[in-house]
Amino acid sequence: MKRILVAYATMAGSTADVARTVGEEISKGGVQVDVLPLTQVKDLKGYDGVVVGGPMIMGWHRAARRFLRKNRLAFQRLPLAVFVLAMSLTQTGETSVGGVPVTVDEKLPKPPQKAGSLSFRERYARLSSYLKPILSATRPARPVSIGVFGGRLEYGRLKWWAVLFAMFVIQAPAGERRNWEAIRSWAAGLPAALRLEETKVEEL
Ligand SMILES: Cc1cc2nc3c(=O)[nH]c(=O)nc-3n(C[C@H](O)[C@H](O)[C@H](O)COP(=O)(O)O)c2cc1C
């Protein structure tokens, strides 16, 4: 039986629920799935594919980026998919970044205030500016797929500096933006994207 690791970083817990949902969806295809916080991942031996998830926290969660960079050589032979939670995304119509197909929760992007002249915040919240640091962390390997979904922001769970950043820099209203349908639909496509349905020659 194929084995998949779904590993995640989180600040306030919402990414953990998404990771469990992604794991649940993948396991419907008869695949064994381990869902673990990145801090509990010892190594990648024995896995046939890896999914790494993390929220945007002033850039993609630092621990998730570090994990990708540390394992970039392994990802040259081990298929990798990535998911990102965010509360703010500028609508630009991008569907891939650096040649990697990107699935975006359609409820997340907001059109810029003035088409053709993006503000600093709108430029910061473009898909390409969120994802390029992720792609440079995995280089020369590339994820087979990236999913970008709405997250959850609850000021009561955060330290004061995090509240200030979220309110004034990303200007995201607090609330629940996780779209389970979009998350499940992306995750249902992962067994194929991670090539789990291909039979290894040695298994024949
Ligand atoms: C300090 C801080 C920084 C954030 N930075 C961004 C950001 O740059 N872009 C964005 O879209 N969302 C940003 N968010 C929203 C988070 O990505 C969102 O709330 C996510 O669901 C948090 O995941 P977690 O509950 O697993 O920590 C930020 C939230 C916090 C608290």
- Over residues 63-100, the pLDDT tens digits come to 999 999 999 999 999 999 999 999 999 999 999 999 99
User: Cα of 203 to ligand 1 centre, how many Å?
Assistant: 43
Ligand 1 pocket test: pick from 134, 163, 170 the residue with the most ligand atoms within 8 Å of its Cβ: 170
- Signed CA dihedral, 19, 102, 133, 70: sign only: positive
Q: Which ligand 1 atom minimizes the distance to the CA of 162? A: 1
Q: How far is residue 64's CA from residue 76's CA, in Å, rounded to a whole number?
A: 18
Mean pLDDT of 50-71: 97
pLDDT digits (tens, 9 = 90+) for 96-131: 999 999 999 999 999 999 978 999 999 999 999 999
108 lines ligand 1 (CB under 6 A): no
Rounded distance from Cα 120 to ligand 1 centre (Å) = 18
Residue 200 has pLDDT above 70, yes or no: no
Nearest CA to 7 out of 58, 44, 48, 56 is that of 44
For 154, 157, 163, 185, 190, the CA distances from 195, given in Å and listed in that order, are 37, 38, 40, 17, 8
Residue found by looking up tokens 């699935």 in the block: 103
pTM above 0.85, yes or no: yes
Q: Give the pLDDT confidence of 123-178 residue by residue, as tens digits.
A: 999 999 999 999 999 999 999 999 999 999 998 888 898 888 888 888 888 899 99
What is the three-class DSSP state of 176?
strand
pLDDT digits (tens, 9 = 90+) for 11-33: 999 999 999 999 999 999 889 99
Percent composition of the chain: helix, strand, coil (DSSP 3-state, to 5): 35, 25, 40
* The pLDDT of residue 113: 92
